Amino acid sequence: MNEEIKPNPGDEKPGNTSGISRRNFLKICGISAMAAAGSAMVLKRKELAGSVWQLDPEKCIQCGRCATACVLTPSAVKCVHCFARCGYCDLCSGYFVQKPVALDTGAENQLCPTGALKRTFIEDPYFQYTIDEKLCIGCGRCVKGCADFGNGSLFLQIRHGRCKHCNECAIAVACPADAFKRVPVTNPYLMKTDVPGGKKT
Amino acid sequence: MSMPRKVFSCLGLFFAAMPLLTAQNRFPKPDFTNGYKVPELSPLPTAASPLERAMLSIAPYLQYAALAMLLIFLILSCYFLYRKRSRRGVLALALAAVAFFGFIVGGCICPVGSIQNIAAAVFNPEFPMSPVVLGIFLLPLFFALFAGRVFCGSVCPLGAIQEVVNFYSLKVPPLLDRILRTIPLFYLGSGVLAAATGIGFIICRFDPFVGLYRMSGPFFILTADGGLLLLGVFVARPYCRYLCPYGVLLGWLSKLSSRRVSITPDECIRCRLCEDVCPVDAIVPPSPPNEDREPLRKSLRRIILLLILLPLTAAASGVTGYFLGAPISLLHPKVELYRQVSTELAAGDRPQTDASLAFRSSGIPVAKLQQEAGGVVSNIRLGSCILGIFLALAVMARLFNFSKRREQKDYQVENSLCVCCGRCYNVCPRDKRNRIMLKEGG
């Protein structure tokens, strides 16, 4: 019943082991188990390129957390405009506050807190709206305005040039609509296209 | 020609009643007469900056490059530690790791956090898993099998930054040290449980140093970061020793390694300098002569007591885990959402939170959410029951190890604790270079 007193691993000189010691046996077992489990896991998924975070604009409720929850300031999330969906309205609900004083580019009329949405005249009564990406903070106010009263042509996307690719996206944790997911890096954007509800694949 | 405006004001009446109507094509696409051409998406993807486009196109390869860098760093770490026996080399490599894996790569994804990706992928077949993540998880473990925790010493961005700031090693009292060293077991267990059941990646959420590498982060994390670094100046590697969950795995595997930091290349003169300088108390003194030990009968009795207690503790902690499952499951967003929605519906309230608002406007039936939340709760119950048993076994194994008899004649490194910093090389008076320097000096 004596406790087995085995020599401490370091006592044996390196290279002095003859045959397969218990430790080497365990090592071989460990490596083969790791290799087998790992390759089984990867081969089953067939995603060799890896994944990045992206938000699904169809699930997004424009709560504004994208602007605040990101580890970056300003956020890696920015607004994107699908022109093919846009109605080019004079009274754009994504551009103007609820009761604008006038339909012009006055700051008091604009919904965007940073003036990132630009309005240019095309022809009567149509106006084109473009996003100045440098100014956009991803708050989604224009997206909400456009989704609630317009065509839903504005939407939010994580810009991968800015994204730090955190292993756990801080916005995904904060997102109340469960809109964030990992997507293949080869197809890293979930676009709105001119087809309502359609996604570019 | 102000049709859109009219339509807009009419529709406004409806929208007051249903603010959550999903976006539709309410306004027709205009027919432009002046030859205006509708551009593509702005600013994506055509208008994306050349830098972003370039980064995206090489992103998959960059990940493999990061994996290759990890391999190179691990090999260099072995080289400096075992071939060159150079503390300076190890320190320089640690600085390089802080710069590269920390500030350039930005911290993610690191082997410490990859535990959770692996756990999530094992238990959730839909979770994306790439060879890069697997490699990042396995490489340091593989090296630990053959060369000990070389990853901790000068490769891990979390360990390296603590290595760099540490200049004085305050000794932690042995009892406190042993108690605190069980925290990583609990952290590892809960991290795996949270990742496997979908609660979240808590190891990443509470990663103290990644905020520093990104130069931004939540206030409490940055505070903890500053605090840990400050503590790390006087107490070596507080995160590595008393928190790091990956260190637990590395410790287990490095016990199998035959290669270890051999303090002196020569005969030990028992000067105890290395024991003093070791920042993580990994150097074990020679075992005392037989007459100074506690009697065999006493240690035998303790081991028998531990063996009797083992099943009891495991069972008790498993049951505790099972009952803790319900409160733990409230941390899961889906369970929390169901709780919120069901209380609201019972009271006949409008949605109170954004999450409940999003769910109730999504049209998914509550019964489906209830079913999913129920599944999550039972998973978490089972998981925390298993976690309880695992923790009991792991803690008991540690206690058992303390009672085990050792036979050892020199000051030796305990592989599972050694973080391969190479400090002991520098102080050992028998180390070759030290001997040369002593000769030259005197």
B114–chain A nearest CA distance, Å: 8
Mean pLDDT across the stretch B77-87? Answer: 90
Question: Number of structural domains, chain B?
Answer: 2
Residue A167 shares a structural domain with residue A80: yes
Q: Give the pLDDT score at A20.
A: 67
Mean pLDDT across the stretch B167-192? Answer: 92
Residue B349, CA distances (Å) to A63, B24, B345, B413 in order:
20, 28, 6, 64
pTM of the complete model: 0.86
Q: Give the pLDDT score at B196.
A: 94
In a domain, A7, yes or no: no
Residue A38 shares a structural domain with residue A57: no
- Which residues of chain A fall short of a pLDDT of 70? 1-20, 46-48, 193-201
In a domain, A171, yes or no: yes
CB neighbours of residue B204 within 10 Å: 26
Residue A40 shares a structural domain with residue A100: no
Using the Cβ of B300 and the Cβ atoms of chain A, whether some distance falls under 8 Å is answered with: yes
Residue B106 shares a structural domain with residue B149: yes
Which domain, by its residues, includes A32?
18-45
User: Are residues B106 and A164, on separate chains, in Cβ contact within 8 Å?
Assistant: yes
Residue A161 shares a structural domain with residue A125: yes
Residue A63 shares a structural domain with residue A111: yes
In a domain, B313, yes or no: yes
Helix intervals (H) in B198-295: 202-205, 210-214, 219-234, 238-242, 245-254, 273-277
- Among A26, A87, A167, the residue with its CB nearest the CB of B108 is A167
Residues whose CB falls within 8 Å of the CB of residue A6, separated by 6 or more in sequence, listed in order: none
A113–chain B nearest CA distance, Å: 19
pLDDT, tens only, B2-12: 444 444 444 44
Residue A35 shares a structural domain with residue A115: no
Residue B225 shares a structural domain with residue B314: no
- Return the amino acid letter for B355: A
In a domain, B372, yes or no: yes
A168–chain B nearest CA distance, Å: 6
Question: Number of structural domains, chain A?
Answer: 2
pLDDT, tens only, B221-243: 888 888 999 999 999 999 999 99
**Which residues in chain B touch residue A49, judged by CB atoms under 8 angstroms apart?**
59-60, 63, 130
Residue A31 shares a structural domain with residue A130: no
Residue A41 shares a structural domain with residue A112: no
B40 versus B362: the higher-pLDDT residue is B362
Residue A40 shares a structural domain with residue A79: no
User: Are residues B258 and A17, on separate chains, in Cβ contact within 8 Å?
Assistant: yes
Q: Is the pLDDT of residue B350 over 50?
A: yes
Q: Give the pLDDT score at B150.
A: 93
Q: Is the pLDDT of residue B16 over 50?
A: no
Would you say the ipTM is above 0.85?
Answer: no
User: Are residues B19 and A148, on separate chains, in Cβ contact within 8 Å?
Assistant: yes
User: Are residues B108 and A196, on separate chains, in Cβ contact within 8 Å?
Assistant: no
Mean of the per-residue pLDDT values of chain B:
85
In a domain, A89, yes or no: yes
For residue B351, say if its preceding peptide bond is cis, omega within 30 degrees of 0: no
Which domain, by its residues, includes B308?
296-403
Quickly state the pLDDT bin for B20 (edges 50, 70, 90): very low
Q: Give the pLDDT score at B424.
A: 87
Q: Give the pLDDT score at B43.
A: 62
User: Are residues A80 and B44, on separate chains, in Cβ contact within 8 Å?
Assistant: yes
Q: Give the pLDDT score at A3.
A: 36
Residue B347 shares a structural domain with residue B429: no
- CA-CA distance, B178 to B417, in Å (whole number)? 11
pLDDT, tens only, B371-398: 999 999 999 999 999 999 999 999 999 8
| H or E element in which residue B8 lies | helix B3-17
Residue B126 shares a structural domain with residue B266: yes
Residue A37 shares a structural domain with residue A57: no
Using the Cβ of B268 and the Cβ atoms of chain A, whether some distance falls under 8 Å is answered with: no
Residue A85 shares a structural domain with residue A35: no
Residue A117 shares a structural domain with residue A176: yes
- CA-CA distance, A55 to A143, in Å (whole number)? 14
Using the Cβ of B15 and the Cβ atoms of chain A, whether some distance falls under 8 Å is answered with: yes
In a domain, A123, yes or no: yes
A171–chain B nearest CA distance, Å: 12
- CA-CA distance, A95 to B39, in Å (whole number)? 19
Residue B272 shares a structural domain with residue B138: yes
